[in-house]
Amino acid sequence: MPRKSTRLTFAVLATGAGVFAMLQSLIAPALPTVQHALHTSQSTATWVMTAYLLSASIFTPILGRAGDLIGKKRTLVSVLVVVALGCLLAALAPNIGVLIVARVVQGIGGALFPLSFGIIRDEFDASRVSGSISNLSAVIAAGGGVGIVAAGPIVSALDYRWLFWIPVAVVAVTTLIALRYVPESPNRAEGKVNWLGAGLLSAWLVALLLPLSQASVWGWGSVRVIGLFAAAVVLFALWLLAEARSRTPLIDLRVMRLPAVWTTNAAALLFGAGMYALWSFLPGFVQTPSSAGYGFGASVTASGLLMLPMLVAMFVSGILSGRLEPAVGAKSLLTTGAAFGAVALGMLALWHDVQWQVALVSGVFGLGIGLAFASMANLIVGSVPASQTGAATGMNANIRTIGGSIGAALTSVLVTGHLQPSGLPYESGYTHGFALLAALCLAAALAALLVPTRTRGLSGSLRAATDLSKDLSKTAESNPEPMASGPRG
pLDDT of residue 50: 81
DSSP secondary structure letter of residue 30: G
pLDDT in tens, the chain (489 residues): 344 578 888 999 999 988 888 888 888 778 888 888 998 887 788 788 888 888 888 888 888 888 888 888 999 999 999 999 999 999 999 999 999 999 999 999 988 988 998 898 888 888 888 888 888 888 888 887 788 788 888 888 888 899 999 999 999 999 999 988 888 877 676 667 778 888 998 899 889 888 888 887 888 889 999 999 999 999 999 999 998 888 878 777 888 888 999 999 999 999 999 988 888 888 889 989 999 999 999 887 888 888 889 988 988 898 888 888 888 888 999 999 999 999 999 999 999 999 999 999 999 999 999 899 889 988 988 888 877 777 788 888 888 888 888 888 888 888 887 889 888 899 999 999 999 999 999 999 999 999 998 644 444 444 444 444 444 444 444 444 333 333 333
pLDDT for the residue numbered 142: 82
How many angstroms separate the Cα of 192 from the Cα of each of 116, 197, 248?
21, 11, 6
Helix (H) or strand (E) holding 143: helix 126-157
Distance CA 239, CA 15 (A): 34
Q: What CA–CA distances, in Å, run from 388 to 261, 304, 418?
A: 12, 38, 46
Contact 118, 72 (CB under 8 A): yes
What size, in residues, is the chain?
A: 489
Beta carbons of 329 and 371 less than 8 angstroms apart: no
Separation of alpha carbons 273 and 252, rounded Å: 25
Give φ, ψ of 382 to 5 degrees: -80, -5
CA-based nearest residue to 10, from 127, 134, 126, 110: 134
